[in-house]
């Protein structure tokens, strides 16, 4: 009998282990005791590498301090789970500092799936869907003119002009601000500081409370980190609410220009959002668009230097369709397929958010014989998905807008799982980027006006030789991937450029 008492529990444990779905989690690297795969998670270059996919496949399993994480290394796997099973994979992991304290549970990008997220998402969609996004075309064109004019006036400061361009365009689209002439504008600086704080608070190891959630309940007077986060939430709330209140005051005076905040205010009774929720939703739209658009434009400028044939082909298209007596406009968009392909290609070629914002599973699930536990954090290897040779060809690492065109030169449909974008930078399922139409339009008109107005060539060294640029390495800002600093030479394409830009600038400033 004593022997049976020892044998039976052992047999039961073996049976339970044999039947456990945890034996069939996706393949992945062996972790360390207790901390698991924290080293692999922190090594972004390994995490997003082809080595990771080659070794473990399209779905890779990691575990950090008992938390399940999967990395999706193909467009199909990502679309199968995050898109076609959006009901299960539309949640977000819990970010205690970034989501619950620093932004007071009002940052829609980090909100977990629920009633408030659906209300905010619906309100944002009403102001940013494809048709609604056209309301911002006039703003985007004016800013593109200012961008080209500014860069030709001081080409050595092209990066500063691009930062000003995106900040001013998005601030005007969100808050109906006047043209911002400097990235040192008080509100721009304060909002950018806010975006940086939030992004840094999501990095692994930034706060112990993410590993030990009980610490959230420590009284603020005994926890400086918590006290600081709460104070920033109070200050940022006041700033964001004041920006929306300014728009509300303009509407009361009969000043009704296109802006996202104006749309929120006019639709408030339908959306059910209160004043603070609207203010934070508007701020999220600025934060999601400004730095990402600027980064993509940096990569585009690098591509113009490194792949001059693409620049010349785009300029030939512009000369044929637009000519040299006027600037490009959105009415030209249907006749400029190569320029439109260039927007798709720069986003595909260099994925500024290498793994995007993680999703989270709401229940246990199975995928191709692999078990995915409830609460699993899901990361998409965006860069690898966008450079898959099986989808984009053997030259997938090269910048070539023509890959998005049909043989007759017209725009081709995007690969099946890209929502016709030609890439997966904007995400999947119910969490797909709500501002993607504004972003596409912004880059289209900026690229069109810049290429119509200017020539971008490599800078020369003291011996007159081209200074080479590195298209493969990058700077990891903690949130975005940026190209390594590089120099280039920017000159007007033809003598009348400056006069036409100035005339257009004056004409638009009067309307």
pLDDT digits (tens, 9 = 90+) for 323-333: 999 999 999 99
Question: What is the signed CA dihedral for 277, 280, 281, 286, rounded to 10 degrees?
Answer: 170
Q: What is the pLDDT of residue 5?
A: 47
3-state secondary structure of 499: helix
- Indicate whether 18 pLDDT > 60: no
Over 421-465, what HEC string results? CCCCCCCCHHHCCCCHHHHHHHHHHHHHHHHHHEEEEECECCCCC
pLDDT digits (tens, 9 = 90+) for 96-128: 999 999 999 999 999 999 999 999 999 999 999
pLDDT digits (tens, 9 = 90+) for 263-284: 999 999 999 999 999 999 999 9
Q: What is the pLDDT of residue 179?
A: 75
Between CA 285 and CA 131 the distance in angstroms is 17
Q: Is 433 a known ligand-binding residue?
A: yes
Distances, alpha carbon 259 to alpha carbons 18, 255, 287, 347, in Å: 59, 11, 15, 26
Q: What is the pLDDT of residue 478?
A: 66
Average pLDDT over residues 9-31: 69
Nearest to 288 by CA among 399, 431, 419, 422: 431
> Residue with structure tokens 């200050």?
235
Percent of the chain with pLDDT over 90: 73
Q: Tell me the pairing of strands 67-72 and 377-380.
A: parallel
Structural domains of the chain ordered from first start: 27-89+355-386 (3.30.43.20), 90-353+387-509 (1.10.630.10)
Between CA 353 and CA 383 the distance in angstroms is 8
What would the DSSP string read from start to end of 359-413? Answer: EE-SS-EEETTEEE-TT-EEEE-HHHHHT-HHHH-TTTTS--GGGGB-TTSSBPP
Q: CB-based contacts of 360: which residues, under 8 Å, 6+ apart?
A: 89, 91, 92, 93, 112, 375, 376, 377, 378
The DSSP element (H or E) to which 4 belongs, if any, is: helix 2-19
pLDDT digits (tens, 9 = 90+) for 72-83: 999 999 999 999
Considering just the CA atoms, what is the radius of gyration of the chain in Å?
25
What would the DSSP string read from start to end of 99-134? Answer: IIISSTT--TTTPPSSHHHHHHHHHHHHHHSHHHHG
Between CA 471 and CA 399 the distance in angstroms is 10
pLDDT digits (tens, 9 = 90+) for 406-422: 999 999 999 999 999 99
pLDDT digits (tens, 9 = 90+) for 421-476: 999 999 999 999 999 999 999 999 999 999 999 999 999 988 889 899 999 888 87
Between CA 27 and CA 25 the distance in angstroms is 7
Q: What is the pLDDT of residue 34?
A: 81
- Indicate whether 298 pLDDT > 90: yes
pLDDT digits (tens, 9 = 90+) for 252-262: 999 999 999 99
The confidence band for 14, taking pLDDT boundaries of 50, 70 and 90, is very low
Nearest to 296 by CA among 243, 242, 350, 245: 350
End-to-end, the C-alpha distance of the chain in Å comes to 95
Q: What is the pLDDT of residue 19?
A: 61
3-state secondary structure of 182: coil
Nearest to 504 by CA among 335, 338, 339, 322: 322
Between CA 413 and CA 404 the distance in angstroms is 8
Q: What is the pLDDT of residue 11?
A: 44
Tokens of 109: 């990008």
What would the DSSP string read from start to end of 303-359? Answer: HHHH-HHHHHHHHHHHHHHT-SSS---GGGGGG-HHHHHHHHHHHHHS-SSSS-S-E
Average pLDDT over residues 235-250: 95
Q: CB of 47 within 8 A of CB of 73?
A: no
CA atoms within 13 A of residue 435's CA, in its CB half-sphere? 22
pLDDT digits (tens, 9 = 90+) for 38-55: 888 878 788 888 888 999
Between CA 134 and CA 150 the distance in angstroms is 25
The confidence band for 12, taking pLDDT boundaries of 50, 70 and 90, is very low
> Rounded to the nearest 10 degrees, what angle do helices 436-453 and 158-175 cross at?
140
- Indicate whether 3 pLDDT > 70: no
> Residue with structure tokens 């500024």?
352
Nearest to 456 by CA among 414, 500, 498, 487: 487
Q: What is the pLDDT of residue 405?
A: 97
Q: CB of 392 within 8 A of CB of 74?
A: no
């Amino acid at each position: 009998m004593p022997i049976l008492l020892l044998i039976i529990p052992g047999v039961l444990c073996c049976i339970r282990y044999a039947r456990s779905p945890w034996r069939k989690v996706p393949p992945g690297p062996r972790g360390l005791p207790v901390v698991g795969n924290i080293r692999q998670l922190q090594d972004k270059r390994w995490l997003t590498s082809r080595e990771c996919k080659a070794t473990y496949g399209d779905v890779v399993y990691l575990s950090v301090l008992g938390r399940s994480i999967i990395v999706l290394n193909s467009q199909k796997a990502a679309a199968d789970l995050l898109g076609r099973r959006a009901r299960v994979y539309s949640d977000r992991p819990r970010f205690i500092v970034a989501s619950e304290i620093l932004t007071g549970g009002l940052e829609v990008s980090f909100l977990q799936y629920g009633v408030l997220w659906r209300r905010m998402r619906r309100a944002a969609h009403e102001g940013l869907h494809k048709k609604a996004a056209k309301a911002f075309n006039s703003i985007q064109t004016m800013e593109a003119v200012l961008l080209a004019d500014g860069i030709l006036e001081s080409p050595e400061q092209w990066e500063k002009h691009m930062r000003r361009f995106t900040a001013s365009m998005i601030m005007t689209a969100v808050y109906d601000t006047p043209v911002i002439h400097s990235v040192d504008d008080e509100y721009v600086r304060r909002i950018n500081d806010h975006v940086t704080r939030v992004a840094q608070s999501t990095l692994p190891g930034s706060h112990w409370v993410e590993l030990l959630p009980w610490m959230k309940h420590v009284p603020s007077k005994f926890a400086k980190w918590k006290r600081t986060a709460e104070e920033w939430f109070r200050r940022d709330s006041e700033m964001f609410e004041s920006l929306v209140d300014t728009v509300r005051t303009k509407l009361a005076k009969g000043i009704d220009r296109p802006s996202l905040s104006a749309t929120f205010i006019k639709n408030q009774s339908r959306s059910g959002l209160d004043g603070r929720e609207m203010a934070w939703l508007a701020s999220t739209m600025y934060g999601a668009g400004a730095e990402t658009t600027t980064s993509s434009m940096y990569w585009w400028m690098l591509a113009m230097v490194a792949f001059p044939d693409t620049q010349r082909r785009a300029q030939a298209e512009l000369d044929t369709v637009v000519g040299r007596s006027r600037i490009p406009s959105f009415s030209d968009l249907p006749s400029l397929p190569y320029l439109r392909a260039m927007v798709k290609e720069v986003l595909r070629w260099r994925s500024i958010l290498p793994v995007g914002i993680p999703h989270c599973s709401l229940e246990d699930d199975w995928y191709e014989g692999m078990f995915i536990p409830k609460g699993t954090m899901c990361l998409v290897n965006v860069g690898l998905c966008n450079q898959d040779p099986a989808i984009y060809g053997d030259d997938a690492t090269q910048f070539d807008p023509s890959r998005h065109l049909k043989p007759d030169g017209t725009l081709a449909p995007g690969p099946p799982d890209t929502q016709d974008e030609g890439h997966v930078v904007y995400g999947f399922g119910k969490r797909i980027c709500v501002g993607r139409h504004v972003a596409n339009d912004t880059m289209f008109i900026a690229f069109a006006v810049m290429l119509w107005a200017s020539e971008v060539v490599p800078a020369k060294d003291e011996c007159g030789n081209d200074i080479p640029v590195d298209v493969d390495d990058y700077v990891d800002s903690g949130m975005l991937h940026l190209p390594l600093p590089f120099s280039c030479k920017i000159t007007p394409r033809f003598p009348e450029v400056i006069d036409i830009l100035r005339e257009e600038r004056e004409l638009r400033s009067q309307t």
